[in-house]
Structure 1
Amino acid sequence: MTEVMSLRTPMFMKKILIVEDERKLARFMELELTHEGYTVDIVSDGQSALMKLMSKEYDVCLLDLMIPVIDGIEVTKRARAFTDIPIIMITARDGLEDKVKGFDIGADEYMTKPFEMEELLARLRALFRQKNDKSLEKVLTYKELTLNKETYEVTRGSDRKELTKKEFDLLSYLLENQGIVLTREKILNTVWGFDFEGETNVVDVYIRFLRAKIDDDYEEKLIQTVRGAGYTLR
């Protein structure tokens, strides 16, 4: 029993948003996913989905296309303006044109109803593996900024930057998630750890430290503040 729990423990930090107006299907998916160790929220319309995606951190969104208020296609279009969260479209539409359209507007996966739960779980595992592979890269780059995890060297163009360990960890996390808006809470939990008991403004303080070393001497600023949301590299 202990071994099973230890294998599933990492999944408890994975949060999934289900956007589905078929109550029985949504409930079935919720039960199966929570059994696998995921945390699940459910909404039944597109407007509620966008509000959830803007207000909370999720690791993946399971999105039905034929939902009320705002359909799944429009939800995906709008969501891609502020988040790179993986989106798995789940729909009864199985035509090639529908699938191509889904991928073109930003979906990561496309599943047709009815589907087997084991297939959905496998696709989720594959998505999370891809994300983990990014964090295992030894050299991270963004424009002229380069960070080497093995040598602890950071350069911008030809300029070498001397960072403290925590500054290095923070920059590494930003580079691993470039283009994604990271909330202060998410940065704090990842870089400082869930058991950190200091002030949450430590994130803002270290962002200022990083900017002083990475951005202040350059015309183009790489570390961006998204008002009311967090920080990102873009």
Structure 2
Amino acid sequence: MQSILIVDDDTHILQLVRIQLEKEGFLVSEAKDGTEALAILKKAHCDLAVVDVMMPFMDGFQLTKEIRKQYDIPIIILTAKGQIEDKEEGFLAGTDDYLVKPFEPRELIFRVQALLRRYQQENSTHTIQFGDTEINLNNYEVKLGDKTLLLPLKEFELLALLATYPQHVFSRTQLIEKIWGIDYEGDERTVDVHIKRLRQRFSTLNSSFSIKTVRGVGYCLEPAE
């Protein structure tokens, strides 16, 4: 499970962002200023930081610079300012993304997920190992023992996502957003069709996983029984 650090001196914002992130299955750590945030990072691993600009003791730009010196994690800056100069300062400090208050919580979630996905792709070994199944993100091959499968792109991306977060239940809406994009105009039955095809492809193979349907919710990938 991935961990997100939220840094903001506004307790309302902390609570709002924490609730939204926890709904998506993230672990959340909270800090009210930069000093507290750095102390948390020394003690616990965080996969991404959401940092407010206007804070006491150390502003968000300074904190971003300090994080960049010590940790290779994506950073999103939150600010009430929208001027181009502030955006420029944020990116010069090392932020990966920038969101102006007030913001839609769902937009923050999309940006968090996109950054985590990008960082994971950049820093991964480009293979996902699940039991005796190897998913190669470079050539889009799936190896199962001595067999090699070439899947259609969306089936491959769907399998790779589920295998990256085994036993995590994704709703159909989440899968649509992550694989087909938030602007996709089709319906959620697309997910069901692709899941069915994946199950059929692996049904005759002694695969180390199964794709489980969680009724009323969505799907997850589990070790084969």
TM-score class, shorter = 0.5 to 0.7
Matching of residue 26 in structure 1 with residue 10 in structure 2: yes
Matching of residue 90 in structure 1 with residue 61 in structure 2: no
Q: Could you list the runs of 5+ residues in structure 1 that have no partner in the other structure?
A: 1-15, 28-40, 58-82
Name the TM-score, length of structure 1 as normaliser: 0.51
Name the TM-score, length of structure 2 as normaliser: 0.52
Partners in 1 of 2:213 and 2:200 — Cα distance? 14
Match of 1:127 among 63, 67, 73: 73
| Contact kept? 2:168, 2:221, Cα under 8 Å | yes
For 1:145-224, what aligned pairs fall within 5 Å after superposition? 145-178=133-166, 180-214=168-202, 217-218=205-206, 220-224=208-212
| Contact kept? 1:188, 1:194, Cα under 8 Å | yes
- The aligned length equals 168
Deviations 1:162-213 (A, max 9, x none): 4222211222333344454333222212322233221112112211211222
Partners in 1 of 2:72 and 2:27 — Cα distance? 11
Hey, what does 1:70 align to over in structure 2? none
- Tell me: CA distance 1:146–1:221, structure 2 relative to 1, closer, same or farther (3 Å): closer
| Contact kept? 1:86, 1:107, Cα under 8 Å | no
- Tell me: CA distance 1:191–1:226, structure 2 relative to 1, closer, same or farther (3 Å): same
Query: What residue identity is the alignment partner of 1:139?
Result: T
Partners in 2 of 1:130 and 1:188 — Cα distance? 17
- Three-state SS of the structure 2 residue aligned to 1:42 is helix
Hey, what does 1:139 align to over in structure 2? 127
Deviations 1:140-172 (A, max 9, x none): 222221122333321222332342222112223
Partners in 2 of 1:86 and 1:204 — Cα distance? 28
Q: Could you list the runs of 5+ residues in structure 2 that have no partner in the other structure?
A: 75-114
- Tell me: CA distance 1:165–1:107, structure 2 relative to 1, closer, same or farther (3 Å): closer
Identity %: 26
Partners in 2 of 1:228 and 1:54 — Cα distance? 19
Partners in 2 of 1:218 and 1:233 — Cα distance? 15
